[in-house]
Every structure is written in structure tokens, then in C-alpha cells.
């Protein structure tokens, strides 16, 4: 499960039984991000490695800590 820590649409709390339903699952929460997080920082590569391997085992999500919210400008 790849989730944005600030996702108002589908917060991680919507999935309390995820581990029971998918015992080999892994949850990665991207702090301060919203609903669609796979496009930020290292996440596209992380998702690609997951799909290529077909497993979340030994997937290193440490790069997630370096992702910052995108710039926001008022005009």
C-alpha cells in the first residue's frame, strides 16, 4: 500500500484490515502528501521495482523520507 500521509480522499485509516487481507503486504506512507503520490521523488522507481519483482520484500522505501510537498505559489 502506497499512501499519502495527508490524503483526505483515502487516508490510511480506511484500511485497518490490510495486513489480514494481504499478509505479505507492506505499507509505505509518504508524509505530507495527498492522494496520488506515485509521481513524486523516487516513487515512480519504487513502484517500478515492485511491479518488476512482483513482491514488496526487500523493497527499500528509505527515499520516501526525502520527498517534499510540491511548490505552491499564490498569484
Whether 38 maps to a domain, the answer reads yes
Stated pTM of the model = 0.75
Q: Is residue 74 part of a domain?
A: no
Domain of residue 37 covers 2-66
Rounded (5°) CA angle 67-59-56: 115
6-16 tens-digit pLDDT: 899 988 899 88
For residue range 65-75, list pLDDT tens digits in order.
888 877 777 77
> Phi first, then psi: what are they for 30, rounded to 5°?
-95, 110
Is 11 within the bounds of a domain? Answer: yes
- Indicate the pLDDT class of residue 48, thresholds 50, 70 and 90: very high
Per-residue pLDDT tens digits for 9-45: 988 899 889 889 988 888 899 888 888 888 878 889 9
Q: For the chain, how many structural domains are there in total?
A: 1
Amino acid at each position: 500500500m502506497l499512501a499519502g500521509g495527508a490524503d483526505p480522499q483515502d487516508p490510511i485509516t480506511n484500511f485497518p484490515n490490510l495486513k489480514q487481507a494481504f499478509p505479505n503486504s507492506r505499507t509505505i506512507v509518504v508524509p505530507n502528501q495527498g492522494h496520488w503520490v506515485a509521481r513524486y521523488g523516487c516513487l515512480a522507481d519504487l513502484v517500478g521495482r515492485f511491479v518488476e519483482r512482483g513482491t514488496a520484500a526487500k523493497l527499500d522505501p528509505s527515499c520516501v523520507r526525502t520527498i517534499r510537498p510540491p511548490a505552491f505559489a499564490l498569484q
